[in-house]
Amino acid sequence: QQQVKQSPQSLIVQKGGISIINCAYENTAFDYFPWYQQFPGKGPALLIAIRPDVSEKKEGRFTISFNKSAKQFSLHIMDSQPGDSATYFCAASGSGGSYIPTFGRGTSLIVHP
Amino acid sequence: EPEVTQTPSHQVTQMGQEVILRCVPISNHLYFYWYRQILGQKVEFLVSFYNNEISEKSEIFDDQFSVERPDGSNFTLKIRSTKLEDSAMYFCASSPGTQGNEQFFGPGTRLTVL
């Protein structure tokens, strides 16, 4: 099964708060888990990615937490800013037959000033 | 910073007409992709292209779709006879050395089929 399930569908946080978006996958052959950020009218842009050999990766205010046994990974945005307001997609790809990423359905994040 | 470019940004066409969407991938990239995103929905894979041939395609990529790399820089998606349900954003992406990983997306072409 190639699905990647993403939640929540939408998220509203106050400036300075923590935004958390969760994803779960089924295919254990996935070995690359990127997060994409998409602003209205633009293409998805790679934000941060993780491979299953580590449980966490941090880049600035963005952190991916990865739980291999639970087949779950999440994006945490610390000190959320209005400029972070966008749609976030998780994805998963791997060497188990297909390198093509399977995308989650997306989370619309709104950060209120 | 190098980026993927796409033209046109918006294409309006009549049902049954042929459209060609154009992309210029990042110059040293080897893998090229087309995705589509119906308004408000997730990004869906259409086709990947490597070494001048299709390497993988989805169920969406049926006989009405074709891709071509007519020269060393352009990568095109042709929809032979457009349907209303083809209305979507179409994104081109490229990646440097490994399929699927670290893809760089273009800004998209919004296709509206009337």
CB atoms inside a 10 Å sphere around CB A94: 22
Whether the Cβ atoms of residue A101 and residue A34 lie closer than 8 Å to each other: yes
Determine the Cα angle at B101 with ends B106 and B4, to 5°: 15
CB contact under 8 A, B107 and A103: no
The total of other beta-carbon atoms located within 10 Å of residue B87's CB is 18
Q: Taking CB atoms and an 8 Å limit, are B42 and A106 in contact across chains?
A: yes
Q: Looking at chain A, which residue has its C-alpha nearest residue B37?
A: A43
A63 Cβ under 8 Å from any chain B Cβ: no
pLDDT at B93 over 90: yes
Average pLDDT over residues A74-98: 89
Q: What percent of chain B has pLDDT over 90?
A: 73
Nearest Cα of chain B lies from the Cα of A29 at a distance, in angstroms, of: 13
Residue type, A35: W
Of B42, B58, B99, the CB nearest to A105: B42
Provide the pLDDT for residue B103. 86
Model confidence band, residue A2 (pLDDT cutoffs 50, 70, 90)? low
CA distance A77 to A18: 6
How buried is residue A86: exposed, middle or buried, by Cβ count under 10 Å (0-12/13-18/19+)? Answer: buried
What is d(CA B80, CA B95) in angstroms, rounded to the nearest whole number? 26
**Where is average pLDDT lowest: A29-33, A61-65, B79-83?**
A29-33
- Closest Cα in chain A, distance from residue B40 (Å): 9
Q: Which of B1, B3, B10, B42 to mutate to test the interface with A (most CBs of A within 10 A)?
A: B42
Q: Does residue B59 sit at the A interface (CB-CB below 8 Å)? A: no
Output the pLDDT for position A41. 81
Give the residue from B60, B48, B22 showing the smallest Cα distance to B101.
B48
Confidence of residue B98 (pLDDT cuts 50, 70, 90): low
Which tokens sit at B56?
């993988």
Average pLDDT over residues B36-52: 90
Which candidate from A32, A46, A89 shows the least CB-CB separation from B42? A89
Q: Please state the three-class secondary structure of A39-53 as a single string.
A: CCCCCCEEEEEECCC
User: Residue A106: its chain B contacts at CB < 8 A?
Assistant: 41-42
Range B26-43 average pLDDT: 90
From chain B, pick out residues whose CB is under 8 angstroms from the CB of A94: 100
CB atoms within 10 A of CB B58: 16
In which band, very low, low, confident or very high, does the pLDDT at A33 lie, cut at 50, 70 and 90?
Answer: very high
pLDDT band at A98 (very low <50, low <70, confident <90, very high): low
Residue located via tokens 């990127």: A34
